[in-house]
Structure 1
Amino acid sequence: MDTEGTSTSTEKDRMAATESAVNILAQGKRNMVCGEIPTAVNQFQEACRILSKAYGETAKECADAYFCYGQALLDLARMENGVLGNALQGVPDTDDESAEQKDEQFEKADLKEEGERTEEEGERTEESGDEREGEDAEGEEGTEEEGEATEEEAVATEGEAGETTSQDGSQDGENPDDVSNLQLAWEMLELAKLIYSKDESREAKLRAAESHLKLGEVSLETEQYEEAIKDLNRCLEIQKELLEADNRLLAETYYQLGLAYCFNKNFTESTESYRAAIKVIEDRVANLNKVLEAATEEERETSDFDHPVYKAKKEIGELREILPDITAKIEDVEDERKNLGDLKNLAKEALGGLSSSSEDREHKEEKPREEDREVKAASDISHLIKRKVPRKSEDVDDDTAKKAKSDEDGAGDTPKENGRREQEEKREEDMETRS
Structure 2
Amino acid sequence: MADIPEVTTSSPSEMLAAGRRHLAVRDFSAAAGTLAKACEALAKEHGDTADQCAEAYLWYGKALLGLSREESGVLGDGVAGNGNPEEEDDNEEGADNGEEEQNGEGEQNGENNDEVEKIEAESTTKEEEPGSSTVAEGDGDEPGTSNNGEANEESEADDNEDDVDNLQLAWEMLDLARSILSRRAEEDGGTPARALLADVHLALGEVALESETYDKAVIDMQSCLELQKELYCRDDRRIAETHYQIGLANSLASNFEDAITHFKNAANILETRIKTLENPAAVTEDATVKKFATADPFYSVEGEIKELKELLPEIQEKIQDMMDYKAETIKRVRETLCSANGEGSSHTNGAGSSTSAAKPAADISHLIKRKRKSSEGDAESSAAKRINT
Provide TM-score, normalisation by structure 2. Answer: 0.62
Matching of residue 196 in structure 1 with residue 186 in structure 2? no
Alignment match, 1:104? none
* Pairing partner for 2:171 from 186, 191, 194: 186
Alignment match, 1:400? none
Alignment match, 1:232? 221
| Distance (whole Å) between structure 2 residues aligned to residue 308 and residue 52 of structure 1 | 34
Matching of residue 213 in structure 1 with residue 202 in structure 2? yes
Determine if contact 1:182/1:218 at 8 Å carries over to the other structure: yes
Alignment match, 1:13? none
Alignment match, 2:336? 347
Give the total of aligned pairs: 272
Residues 250-399 of structure 1: pairs in structure 2 closer than 5 A: 250-291=239-280, 311-356=300-345
Matching of residue 172 in structure 1 with residue 149 in structure 2? no
Per-residue CA deviations over 1:125-168 (Å, capped at 9, x if unaligned) read xxxxxxxxxxxxxxxxxxxxxxxx9xx99xx989933989xx98
Per-residue CA deviations over 1:361-409 (Å, capped at 9, x if unaligned) read xxxxxxxxxxxxxxxxxxxxxxxxxxxxxxxxxxxxxxxxxxxxxxxxx
Q: Name the aligned partner's letter for residue 264 of structure 2.
A: R
Q: Indicate how the Cα distance of structure 1 residues 347 and 170 shifts in structure 2: closer, same or farther if over 3 A, else same.
A: farther
Alignment match, 2:379? none
**What SS is found at the alignment partner of 1:198?**
helix
Q: Indicate how the Cα distance of structure 1 residues 181 and 161 shifts in structure 2: closer, same or farther if over 3 A, else same.
A: same
How big is the alpha-carbon RMSD for the aligned residues of Structure 1 and Structure 2? 3.5
| Greater Rg by CA | 1
Q: Give the stretch that moved more between structures: 19-28 or 212-221.
A: 19-28
Deviation at 1:86, TM superposition (A): 3.8
**What SS is found at the alignment partner of 2:243?**
helix
Determine if contact 1:66/1:191 at 8 Å carries over to the other structure: yes
Q: Which has the higher contact order (CA 8 A, sep 6+)?
A: 2
Per-residue CA deviations over 1:273-318 (Å, capped at 9, x if unaligned) read 11110111011111111139989xxxxxxxx997999521111121
* Pairing partner for 2:238 from 225, 249, 267: 249
As a proportion of its length, which structure holds more helix?
Answer: 1
Q: Name the aligned partner's letter for residue 161 of structure 1.
A: E
| Distance (whole Å) between structure 2 residues aligned to residue 158 and residue 285 of structure 1 | 79
Alignment match, 2:32? 41
| Distance (whole Å) between structure 2 residues aligned to residue 76 and residue 281 of structure 1 | 29
Q: Name the aligned partner's letter for residue 236 of structure 1.
A: L
Alignment match, 2:97? none
**What SS is found at the alignment partner of 1:175?**
helix
Structure 1 unmatched ranges of 5 or more: 1-17, 92-148, 296-303, 360-435
Matching of residue 89 in structure 1 with residue 68 in structure 2? no
Determine if contact 1:186/1:215 at 8 Å carries over to the other structure: yes
Matching of residue 60 in structure 1 with residue 44 in structure 2? no
Q: Indicate how the Cα distance of structure 1 residues 90 and 81 shifts in structure 2: closer, same or farther if over 3 A, else same.
A: closer
**What SS is found at the alignment partner of 2:229?**
helix
| Distance (whole Å) between structure 2 residues aligned to residue 293 and residue 236 of structure 1 | 25
Q: Name the aligned partner's letter for residue 314 of structure 1.
A: G
Q: Indicate how the Cα distance of structure 1 residues 34 and 157 shifts in structure 2: closer, same or farther if over 3 A, else same.
A: farther
Q: Indicate how the Cα distance of structure 1 residues 350 and 192 shifts in structure 2: closer, same or farther if over 3 A, else same.
A: same
Per-residue CA deviations over 1:96-149 (Å, capped at 9, x if unaligned) read xxxxxxxxxxxxxxxxxxxxxxxxxxxxxxxxxxxxxxxxxxxxxxxxxxxxx9
**What SS is found at the alignment partner of 2:337?**
helix
| Distance (whole Å) between structure 1 residues aligned to residue 153 and residue 330 of structure 2 | 49
Q: Indicate how the Cα distance of structure 1 residues 307 and 58 shifts in structure 2: closer, same or farther if over 3 A, else same.
A: closer
Determine if contact 1:210/1:235 at 8 Å carries over to the other structure: yes
| Distance (whole Å) between structure 2 residues aligned to residue 227 and residue 171 of structure 1 | 36
* Pairing partner for 1:160 from 136, 143, 150: 136
**What SS is found at the alignment partner of 1:89?**
coil
Determine if contact 2:61/2:171 at 8 Å carries over to the other structure: yes
Q: Name the aligned partner's letter for residue 79 of structure 2.
A: Q
**What SS is found at the alignment partner of 1:160?**
coil
Q: Indicate how the Cα distance of structure 1 residues 90 and 179 shifts in structure 2: closer, same or farther if over 3 A, else same.
A: closer
Determine if contact 1:196/1:205 at 8 Å carries over to the other structure: yes
| Distance (whole Å) between structure 1 residues aligned to residue 133 and residue 280 of structure 2 | 81
* Pairing partner for 1:27 from 18, 23, 26: 18
What fraction of aligned residue pairs are identical, expressed as a percent? Answer: 37
Determine if contact 1:213/1:235 at 8 Å carries over to the other structure: yes
Alignment match, 1:73? 64
Provide TM-score, normalisation by structure 1. Answer: 0.56
| Distance (whole Å) between structure 2 residues aligned to residue 19 and residue 244 of structure 1 | 39
| Distance (whole Å) between structure 2 residues aligned to residue 259 and residue 309 of structure 1 | 30
